[in-house]
Structure 1
C-alpha cells in the first residue's frame, strides 16, 4: 500500500508545456511552482472523491470540522518519470497509513512498536495517580485538618480572652487588697491570684498540646498520602519523558547525501534542544524522507491548507503556506543538504538599490518614506536599514532615535528623533496614542461593507515565529478600523487605522477568518507571496516635539 508505485502519482493533465524547476524550493518563503500547483489541484480533487478515510474538514459544516495541512513533492521517479508524492501533517482519522499518501517517518501506532506498550504503562501510571488523587481519605483529611485548625484557632482565641479578662480582674483584686488588707492577708491573696494565673496559662498550654497532637496525627497521614501522590506524578513524568526521548531517537531523517540524523541530534544545537511536540510529523519532512528512502529526486515542494480555518492561526482553504519555523526549520535544514536549494529571500537585502526618501527634516526630527524591503532597524544578518542610513546621513546629531517601526515588507512613513529632547516628546505621544496613523492596503477579495472595526487579541506563535496568532485567552488587545476605498479586479483597496500597535496587527486582522478573511496582496506570511507586500503607511499626524504644532505627513502609495 505504501510502496513507491502506490505513493507515486502521475499527472492526469498534460504537463508537456511546463519547464522543470532549476532549484529546489526554499520552503520557508516561496511561490509554488506551476507543476506543484497542478499537483495540489489534482490532490484536492482526490480529497473530494476519495473513500479511503472519513474526516470532517469543515467543508460542509465549519462548526464541526477541522482543517489539515497537505503537501505535494514534485519528483522524478527512479525510472525518470515525472510525478509527485503526497503527504498530510500529523494523522487523519487517527490513522498514519492511508493509501496514496507517504507513510510517517516513524509509525508509532504499529502494534509491533514500543509506543503502544510504553503508552499503556504511562496510562496505567496515570490511572493509578488519578485513583490516588481521588482517594476520599485525602479530601476528608484536608477537610478535617481545615476544620480542626479553625476550631483550634477559635478555642485558643477564647482562652486568651479568658486570660486577658482574668488578668484584669486580678489586677483590680490586687489593687483593692493593697488598700484594704493587712500584710498577711495580702500575701494570701497574691498567692491565690498567682495560682489563678498559672492555672489559666496551663489551660492554654494543654489546649495547644492537645490540638497539636490531634493535628500532627492527621497531618502525618496527609503527608503520607501526598508523598504517594507526588511519587506517582514523578513516575508518570519520568515514564513520559523517557518515552518522548525514545520516540525522538526513532525519528531518523535522511538527506540527499544519505546521511541520517535523529530528532535529538538535530535539535541539540538549537536554542531549544528539546524537540517540540509534533516535530517530524509535518508534510514536508515526510515527503523528503520518502523520496530519499526510495530513490526519488525531489524537484519542488508546496504545502496547502484544506478545510475550515483554525481558530488561532491564519489558514485559508486551498491556500499555500510555508513550512513552520520551530519544528521544520531544523529538520529541513538537515534534509535539504545535498539539494540545490533556492537562496533564502529573507536573507537578501531587497532594498539595497532603493532610495530612502526624506519627507521632512529639521533640528528635532526627520520623517522618511521607507521603501518596501528595507528594514527599519538593523537585523541579525542584514545591517542596511532606515536607521543605519540616517546614522550615516546625520553623523553629528545626538540621534537618530527609533520612535516606531514598520515591518521590512511594509513601505511608508517613519519618524526618527534627532535629539534626546525630541525623542522624549515623540515617545510620549506614541505611548499615549496621540499619534494618528493611516495605512493603505490592497486585499485579495471583494469587501461588501464600506467600513468596519476588527477587535481580535493577538500574541506571537511560539511554534512559528515571527507569525502571530489570534488568541482570546493569552493575546493582547488589538483593534483596527478600516474603510473601503475601491474595488477592482477582484481586489479591495482599503484605508486601515490601527488603534493599537501589535506586531503584524493589520496583516493578521486582514487575513484571519474572524477579521476580513482576506490576506493582503503579496503577504508571504499570511497569504501568498508576490513582488511586494501591498501595505503602505500613507499618513501620520503628530505634534511637533518643540513647537507642539500639529503636523500631518503623507507619502504617496505606489500601488
Structure 2
C-alpha cells in the first residue's frame, strides 16, 4: 500500500525512471528513505541491519506516494511490502519413497558379508592345502578340486557383490533424479502462483520469467528476496506510475561487509536484471552514467616514457581496460598511441574511480619481466587517500582476506575461509580541520577494492575513503590516487620511481 509522501519537496516528474544499476538518488527517494529510516529507528532498534528499497510513484489521484521493502531480509513489519520470496505459497514437497534404496542397501550388505566370509574361509583352506602339500601326504585330485571350487565360488560371490553395488548406485541415482524432478515441480508450482504485470499491462508468472534459474536454487532464492521487483509489481497492479527508486542501508553492518549508513547503492544486476527486464518494459530509463563518453576527447598525460615503458596519469572515472560499455579506456588509448608495441602492454589496473599512475610495457620481454616482478611483490606502490575520519592508529598494517560478494557485484567482502590474502600498510599523513585524514597506503597485495574495503571495514580502519559509493558515501569523486610506483627497470637494472602528484 502506497503511503502519501507528505510535503514532497520535489515535484519534478520528467517521466524518466531511475536507471537501477548506477544512479544518484532522486530527492524524492531521499525524502521517502528518511521516513523509512525514522520508522526503523523507532520500531527496529537493536535489530539486524538491512538494505531497504524505496519506490516513489504518482498515484491515480495525482498524489505522490512511496512504498518500501527489505532486500534479502525477511521482514514481518507490515510497514514494508513483502518480497516475492515472502509471497510464495508454502512448500508442499512430500518425502519420496526410499524402499528401493533401502532394499538395495540391504542386498549389498548381505552380498558383501557372504563374499568376505567366504574369502576368509577360502584363505584358511588355501593355507591348509599348502600345509598338506608340504607334509608330502595328500590327495592331489582332492586339493585341486577344493582349490577350483574356492576360486569359482569366490568369483561368483564377487560378481554378485559388484552387481549389488551397481544396483544400489542405480537406486540412489534414481532417487536423486526423482528428487530433482520433485523439487523442480515444486518450484514450478510455487513460482507459477505469483502473477507479474508491467507498465504495458503485459502479464506473466514468476515461473515464466525465472524458469531458467530452477537449477540454480541459491541464486533463485536471492532473486526472489530482492525488494525492488516486488515494489514495481505492486505499483503496476495499483496503477501507480513509478517516479524514482533507490535503496540504502540502515542499521548494523554484517561482519563481512562495510556499508555507509544512509548511503544509496545501485541494485545488484545479477539479482535484478531478469525480473526488471520484464517489469520495466515500456519505461523510459535515465542514461547509465557509466556509459557516457566522458573521455571521448581526452588528451593522454604521459608521465614517463622510455624505449621499454610508458606511464600515464589515469583520470578518475576512466576505465583501465575495455569493459562491457562502449566508452574510452586507457588500454585502448595506449594501443592506439603505440601500434608498433609487441605483447599485451597491460601490466596492472586501477579501479575506474581511482586516479594515478598506470604503467604499460612496450615489448614482450619488458612485459614478462615486470609481470614476474608484480607476481613476486617486488613492485612497490603508494596511494594517497582522503578518509572520512581519522583512524584509531596513525600507522600499521591491515590484514583482511577478501573475495567477491557473489550476488552484489562488484562489491567485495571480508571472508576468512574463502578469501584471498590481502595486506595493506598505512600511515596517516595529517588530519584536516574537518577531521578527515590524509593517508598513504602501501599495498602488499593487489586485490580488487583492497584499499577501499580495508579502509571502510570495521576490522580495518573503520574510516571509508571519501567518495566511495560502495563502502562509504558518494561525493564528487573517489578520493583515492595512485601516487607512485617503484621497481627495478628490467633493462637498465636501476631502481625507478614514477610519481604523479596527488590532485587533492
Please classify the TM superposition score into its range, dividing by the shorter chain length. 0.7 to 0.9
Going from structure 1 to structure 2, the CA distance change for 1:91 and 1:483 (only over 3 Å counts) comes to closer
Distance 1:547 1:165 in 2: 82
Going from structure 1 to structure 2, the CA distance change for 1:485 and 1:69 (only over 3 Å counts) comes to same
Unaligned runs of 5+ in 1: 1-6, 51-56, 110-114, 174-191
- TM-score normalized with structure 1 length: 0.78
- Aligned structure 1 segments of 4 or more residues deviating by more than 6 angstroms: 137-167, 272-275
Find the counterpart in structure 2 of residue 533 from structure 1: 478
Q: Is the 8 A contact 2:55 2:245 kept in 1?
A: yes
How much does 1:486 deviate?
A: 2.6
**149-158 or 227-236, which moves further after superposition?**
149-158
Find the counterpart in structure 1 of residue 179 from structure 2: 236
Distance 1:469 1:407 in 2: 16
Residue-by-residue CA offset, 1:152-174 (whole Å, 9 max, x unaligned): 7767777778888999x69xx9x
Find the counterpart in structure 2 of residue 413 from structure 1: 357
The answer on 1:30 being equivalent to 2:23 is: yes
The answer on 1:519 being equivalent to 2:464 is: yes
Distance 1:374 1:361 in 2: 21
Find the counterpart in structure 2 of residue 86 from structure 1: 68
Residue-by-residue CA offset, 1:67-94 (whole Å, 9 max, x unaligned): 322222122221111232122235635x
Q: Is the 8 A contact 1:105 1:253 kept in 2?
A: no
Going from structure 1 to structure 2, the CA distance change for 1:428 and 1:248 (only over 3 Å counts) comes to same
Find the counterpart in structure 1 of residue 428 from structure 2: 484
Among residues 407, 421, 435, which one is paired with 1:463 in the alignment? 407
The answer on 1:74 being equivalent to 2:56 is: yes
Find the counterpart in structure 2 of residue 45 from structure 1: 38
Q: Kindly report which structure 2 residues correspond to 1:149-298, keeping only aligned pairs within 5 A, or say none.
A: 196=140, 202-214=145-157, 227-266=170-209, 276-298=220-242
How many aligned residue pairs are there?
500
Distance 1:370 1:262 in 2: 47
- TM-score normalized with structure 2 length: 0.86
Among residues 10, 20, 24, which one is paired with 2:12 in the alignment? 20
Residue-by-residue CA offset, 1:136-157 (whole Å, 9 max, x unaligned): x888877777777777776777
Residue-by-residue CA offset, 1:462-501 (whole Å, 9 max, x unaligned): 3233332333332222222222223332433222222222
Distance 2:201 2:211 in 1: 20
Find the counterpart in structure 1 of residue 487 from structure 2: 542
Could you say what secondary structure the match of 2:222 adopts? Answer: coil
Find the counterpart in structure 2 of residue 185 from structure 1: none
Going from structure 1 to structure 2, the CA distance change for 1:458 and 1:343 (only over 3 Å counts) comes to same
Higher-Rg structure is 1
Q: Is the 8 A contact 1:454 1:509 kept in 2?
A: yes
How much does 1:241 deviate?
A: 0.9
Q: Is the 8 A contact 2:54 2:247 kept in 1?
A: yes
Residue-by-residue CA offset, 1:246-296 (whole Å, 9 max, x unaligned): 3344444333222234445445799x9997323243221121111111122
Distance 2:389 2:125 in 1: 79
Residue-by-residue CA offset, 1:409-449 (whole Å, 9 max, x unaligned): 21111111111221121111111111111212223333121
Find the counterpart in structure 2 of residue 8 from structure 1: 2
Find the counterpart in structure 1 of residue 78 from structure 2: 99
The answer on 1:498 being equivalent to 2:498 is: no
Distance 1:539 1:525 in 2: 25
Could you say what secondary structure the match of 1:303 adopts? Answer: strand
Residue-by-residue CA offset, 1:534-557 (whole Å, 9 max, x unaligned): 221111111111111111111111
Distance 1:539 1:555 in 2: 6
Distance 1:555 1:256 in 2: 51
Find the counterpart in structure 2 of residue 54 from structure 1: none
Distance 1:486 1:243 in 2: 60
Q: Is the 8 A contact 1:283 1:303 kept in 2?
A: no
Coordinate RMSD, CA, aligned: 3.6
Could you say what secondary structure the match of 1:278 adopts? Answer: helix
Going from structure 1 to structure 2, the CA distance change for 1:106 and 1:472 (only over 3 Å counts) comes to closer
Distance 1:243 1:527 in 2: 41
How much does 1:225 deviate?
A: 5.4
Among residues 278, 283, 287, which one is paired with 1:339 in the alignment? 283
Could you say what secondary structure the match of 2:335 adopts? Answer: helix
Q: Is the 8 A contact 2:111 2:160 kept in 1?
A: no
Going from structure 1 to structure 2, the CA distance change for 1:284 and 1:249 (only over 3 Å counts) comes to same
Going from structure 1 to structure 2, the CA distance change for 1:144 and 1:446 (only over 3 Å counts) comes to farther
Q: Is the 8 A contact 1:351 1:372 kept in 2?
A: no
Find the counterpart in structure 1 of residue 378 from structure 2: 434
